[in-house]
Each structure stands twice: as C-alpha cells, then as structure tokens.
C-alpha cells in the first residue's frame, strides 16, 4: 500500500483481561500500520489510567464505577483523535458492554478485537502480579476473578489463545482484516 491516503481514520480497540497481550499486540499493529504510512496514535490502558486517574494507577483495577468511567473517557478520547484523521490503536481491558455499544454507535470505522486467553494462562503470565496478589488476598475487585467481565458480544475479531500462534501472526491477521474492512 504505502500511502496514508488508503488508511482511513478509525479505532482499533484491543480488549481482553490483564495479561492477555493487549499492549504487545497493539504496539505491533501500530508499528506495522505506521510502516505502511498510516497516521497512528497508540493508546495504552496502563498509561491512560495514570493520566486520567490523576496518578492513582490502581483506579483501573478497583471500584467498578471508576473503571467504567475511565473506559468511557478512553472511548471519547479515541473518538476525538480518530476524528482528526488518525487510526487509533488502543489496548485496554474496558470489558463493559455499554462502552462497546457506545463505541459502535459513535466511532466511524470502529474495529473491536478481543484477545480471549484462559485464566490459567493469564495466571501463568501475570506480568503485573495481579493474579498472584489476588490469590494472596492483597488485591480484590479484579476483572475476570471477583468482578465480572463483559465478553464482547460483537467483536470483529476474537483471537483465541493458542500457544503455537506468534504475535506476528496475530498482528498480520488483524491488519489484513482491518484493511479489508476499512479500505474500500
């Protein structure tokens, strides 16, 4: 392709539980789209939480109402940036049906990706120690454990965990599907 003109703006919303690989996949997608000339903004839930929660990094893991309010802020920010001509690649748990519905109703070229990874694999990975701290009784209100997670009802792509699948294969598949959908 190699032309930003063939890359319409939109939002690639990558969701899944903590440790599912959202940030890694999002970074790979953003890198490949940029290499192809697309204007891309990468938003990561951990970084966004630090900004929107006024430094209370744990706000995104606790208090359901606060988490949902943050997810709506992320959605509105992604919408704003995409309206300025960018492809926004966002990695966030934000497993709320209300947020997904808002995104579909309000964001042009909204593309939802759900990284579906079994809890056993998430516990094995546990990059932030969330599952270990939960098991030790030091952390509560964790999405997917003691807080329910709204699995996306209409994700454009569901990436089922497979230990044989590489990040590159996932990224390439997502870009192929995204491009086929938005480039007319």
What pLDDT is recorded for position 112?
97
SS3 sequence of 34-76? HHCCCCEEEEEHHHHHHHHCCCCHHHHCCCHHHHHHHHHHHHH
pLDDT for 57 equals 46
User: How many structural domains does the chain have?
Assistant: 1
Q: CA–CA separation, 101 vs 104, rounded Å?
A: 5
pLDDT of residue 52: 81
Taking only the tens of pLDDT, the chain with its 184 residues reads: 444 446 789 999 999 999 999 999 999 999 999 999 999 999 999 899 888 875 454 444 444 677 888 899 999 999 999 999 999 999 999 889 999 999 999 999 999 999 999 999 999 999 999 999 999 999 988 888 988 888 999 999 999 999 999 999 999 999 999 999 887 6
CATH number of the domain that residue 12 is part of: 3.40.50.300
User: 146 and 140 in contact (C-beta within 8 Å)?
Assistant: yes
Task: Give the pLDDT of residue 7.
Answer: 76
24: CB partners within 8 A, 6+ apart: 167
Show the domain range for 142. 4-182
Give the list of residues 6+ apart from residue 69 with CB closer than 8 angstroms, or none.
Answer: none
Quick one: which of 125, 96, 112, 128 has its CA closest to 20? Answer: 125
Residues labelled as active-site residues = 94
């Amino acid at each position: 392709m190699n032309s930003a003109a063939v890359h319409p703006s939109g939002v690639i919303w990558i969701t899944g539980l903590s440790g599912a690989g959202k940030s890694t996949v999002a970074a790979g997608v953003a890198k490949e789209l940029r290499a192809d000339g697309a204007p891309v903004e990468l938003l990561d839930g951990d970084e966004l939480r630090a900004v929107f929660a006024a430094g209370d990094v744990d706000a995104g893991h606790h208090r359901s109402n606060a988490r949902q309010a943050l997810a709506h802020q992320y959605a509105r920010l992604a919408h704003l940036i995409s309206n300025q001509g960018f492809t926004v690649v966002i990695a966030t748990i934000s497993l709320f049906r209300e947020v997904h519905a808002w995104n579909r109703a309000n964001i042009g070229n909204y593309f939802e990706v759900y990284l579906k990874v079994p809890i056993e694999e998430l516990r094995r990975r546990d990059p932030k120690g969330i599952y270990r701290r939960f098991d030790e009784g030091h952390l509560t209100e964790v999405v997917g454990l003691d807080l329910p997670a709204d699995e996306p009802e209409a994700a454009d792509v569901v990436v089922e965990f497979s230990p044989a699948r590489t990040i590159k294969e996932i990224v390439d598949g997502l870009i192929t599907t995204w491009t086929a959908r938005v480039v007319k």
